[in-house]
Structure 1
């Protein structure tokens, strides 16, 4: 309960700060929206030249893309660690974090929180609604809870991978540039997995499981029964990768000797 209380106190202070600069908040959201629009236009251009993509229709791929945006928005809001190496290791702010009686990862997650990123889920939900109408999909009352579970699982997969990458900074003295490359790789999860070579499919499923963020869980709602087993593995994969990331983080913190070492 202590951590829950601290979380909501951080959130309240964050919202007060952001609402002081409403124009900046709006511009930031519009820039994210434009980036998503570019990806959407790309999909529409592809399907302007072919009616099917390895057996997937345009509306099915749009649904997958829309679904992908929701866990991605949750991840972007709470696990913004892209500059961890530069800010906390190189500049030495990790020393400050470790003087407080709260878990270091929890503190950094709160400090790097960007709740406005949650607005990125809105276009995803709109795209899903549009594609669902076009595909005449039907849903059950419990699908809402399954959707939430899949979204949390997908966000934890993202968090687990990027927290694990951040821990490299505890073991390597040099600045690392893996984060941007991994962000690019993660985009593969927003497309049907079977359009890729089997090696890439294996990597996106078991090594860097970004397929569990988009195509696998979305397949459940698209009634793609051949992927049901993978879809329901999403929460378990998310929990596994997040637990591994926290273990790596704890090991890295134990090794950390400060910016002057």
Structure 2
């Protein structure tokens, strides 16, 4: 409980610190909205020109994109600060973190507040709402519970990918390029049904860079598009994939931290 109280207090302090500069705070929110609104515009044009993509209707495609955006926004709120690890290592600030009683990863995750994520979340909920409104499906209680689990799983999965990449920073390797590469690929391919992609890309999106688990696979359960076989089983288990991946990445991250020798080796 003491760790939870400290986390809440640090988060409140980070938000208050950002709100000290209200103009910058507002611009950060607007930046998040404008950045993700381009996707909303592109999707509108896409589903207008092409009524169906890989057997999915326009409303269902909106739902996939909205689900990924909401999961991404939750990821940014809670886990995006792992991208700051290379800078913290280069500036020698990690040594100070190691002397504090809080777990190292907790301190890194609470090192700042990502205000732009609120704009991402607003656009994501809008796109998801449009998809729910257009898609012809009922919403019993178990679907609502699965939707919440899917969002949490997507956030954890994206967090796991970036956490694993950031582990390289403990060896003073600049992780900016691979982290950006992974983020761009997740955003580029995670918004659409993987059925429209060739088989090699489908395999990559379900194994090497598991973007399919963030939206497509859980959406197939929620919208009644679940296929049989392996893909059907993966779809049902997709929220759990995020939990397992994050636990594995966390273990890898702390293994890297244990071998950290300080700036300069």
TM-score, normalised with respect to structure 2: 0.91
* 1:35 corresponding residue in structure 2: 35
Is contact 2:32-2:119 (8 Å) kept? no
Shift of 1:119: 4.2
Q: Which residue of 1 aligns with 2:190?
A: 189
TM-fit CA distance, 1:68: 0.8
Task: Specify the alignment match of 2:257 in structure 1.
Answer: 253
Distance 1:206 1:3 in 2: 34
Could you tell me which residue of structure 2 aligns to residue 175 of structure 1? Answer: 174
Consecutive unaligned residues of structure 1, counting only runs of 5 or more, are none
Aligned twin of 1:22: 22
Q: For structure 1, which segment, 136-145 or 100-109, has the greater mean C-alpha deviation from structure 2 after superposition?
A: 136-145
Cα distance in structure 2, aligned partners of 1:121 and 1:142: 23
Residue 225 (structure 2) aligns with? 224
Name stretches of at least 5 consecutive residues in structure 2 with no aligned partner. none
Task: Quote the Cα distance in structure 1 between the aligned partners of 2:236 and 2:7.
Answer: 29
Question: Map of 1:129-208 to 2, 5 A cutoff?
Answer: 129-171=129-171, 173-176=172-175, 177-187=177-187, 188-208=189-209
SS in 1 for 2:258: helix
Q: Describe the SS at the equivalent of 1:207.
A: coil
Q: What is the RMSD computed on CA atoms of the aligned residues?
A: 1.8
Deviation at 1:234, TM superposition (A): 1.9
